[in-house]
A and B are shown apart, each in its own frame.
Chain A
Amino acid sequence: MQFKVLLIMTKKDYLQDISEIKNIMNRSTRFLSLSGLTGILAGVYALIGAFFAQQILKEYVNTNNRSVYNSEMGFALDFIMMELIGIALIVALLSVITAYILTKRKAKKEGVSIWTTTTKRLLFHFFIPLATGGIFSLIILNQGFYGFVAPATLIFYGLAIVNASNFTFSSVKYLGIAEIILGLIALNYIGYGLYFWAIGFGVFHIFYGTIMYFREKPTI
């Protein structure tokens, strides 16, 4: 009888040991203070940005329904490009600030520090494809391939997420894969970049963010 009790006790201890080991292995390699709310808000910013971008483009088409080859129009196009890039940068900046604030808040709640080796690793693996994509996009913009910018940003952003997914919630890789596929589809519909952009950066973020938000401890 005593022996049996002892056995059950040790079994429970061993199970606890194993789960503790898994927990530490995850916490020491993955950055888990990302909040689902960040995704939702980033998606909302992107949709608002896309709306403004569409207004600008609409106005441009309305005021310039003359010949396509017009020197004045070329100038206007440059100006519009700057406006669109401005919107994109504001959306990106707001998203980064939101991510920082919410991550810091969640980390504080969980009693973990935010600037750790895991964070650095996550950022490093995230930013290499992302920076490459950013520079790539600027170069093709400069070359005049405006239509390729939306697919390129989606694809590189997706690659960045997949690359970073080993260092945070691994389910985030599905978001990355979805962005890559969307980017490849967008390549076939040059000229509709803004809509794909709104889907990829807006709808997908809100969708994934909501899923994450409702299971604050997602499966790893």
Chain B
Amino acid sequence: MSIIQHINKVFNHRVRLGIMSALMVNESVDFNSLKNLLDITDGNLASHIKALEKVAYILIQKQFIGKKTNTKYSVTKLGKIAFKKHINALEKLISQQK
């Protein structure tokens, strides 16, 4: 049952998993790129970003490009560790159930 402990409840949603996946392999990703990548609405994405930010898994950086704001997201050290643990747990669960 110890593996179950590592299944992170924060990641218990496909969108959050998607956001984390994109941020893990990129230095930073902006809002629109994430939206296109995951093919979801603004509101949906924003709420999941908020959830991930709340637990300090991702970092939000606001920038101005001309007059437009450009918001970029990147993964924190804590987020990286949590995500890796989660993936490991998933893989273990899958291999155990074979």
Interface pairs (29), CB distance under 8 Å: A7-B97, A8-B97, A10-B93, A11-B93, A11-B97, A14-B90, A14-B94, A15-B94, A17-B90, A18-B90, A18-B91, A20-B17, A20-B18, A20-B21, A21-B18, A21-B21, A24-B22, A24-B38, A25-B24, A28-B25, A28-B26, A29-B26, A111-B39, A112-B36, A113-B36, A116-B33, A116-B36, A117-B30, A117-B33
Task: Say yes or no for B29: interface residue by CB 8 A criterion.
Answer: yes
Task: Say yes or no for A27: interface residue by CB 8 A criterion.
Answer: yes
Task: Say yes or no for B59: interface residue by CB 8 A criterion.
Answer: no
Task: Say yes or no for B14: interface residue by CB 8 A criterion.
Answer: yes
From the candidates A14, A24, A25, A113, name the one contacting B93 in the complex (CB within 8 A).
A14
Task: Say yes or no for B37: interface residue by CB 8 A criterion.
Answer: yes
Q: Is the interface of A mostly helix, strand, loop or mixed?
A: helix
Task: Say yes or no for B87: interface residue by CB 8 A criterion.
Answer: yes
For B30, what are the chain A residues with a Cβ–Cβ distance below 8 Å? Answer: 117
Alpha-carbon distance between A27 and B38 when the two chains are bound, in angstroms:
10
Those 10 A-B pairs whose CB atoms lie nearest each other, nearest first: A24-B21, A28-B22, A21-B21, A11-B97, A25-B25, A14-B90, A29-B25, A24-B18, A25-B21, A14-B94
The residue in chain A whose Cβ has the minimal distance to the Cβ of B97 is A11
Chain A: how many interface residues by the 8 Å CB criterion? 20
| Total contacts A-B at CB 8 Å | 53
The residue in chain A whose Cβ has the minimal distance to the Cβ of B92 is A14
Cβ < 8 Å to B, chain A residues 1-54: 7-8, 10-11, 14-15, 17-18, 20-21, 24-25, 27-29
**In the complex, what's the smallest C-beta–C-beta distance from A208 to chain B, in angstroms?**
26
Alpha-carbon distance between A28 and B25 when the two chains are bound, in angstroms:
8
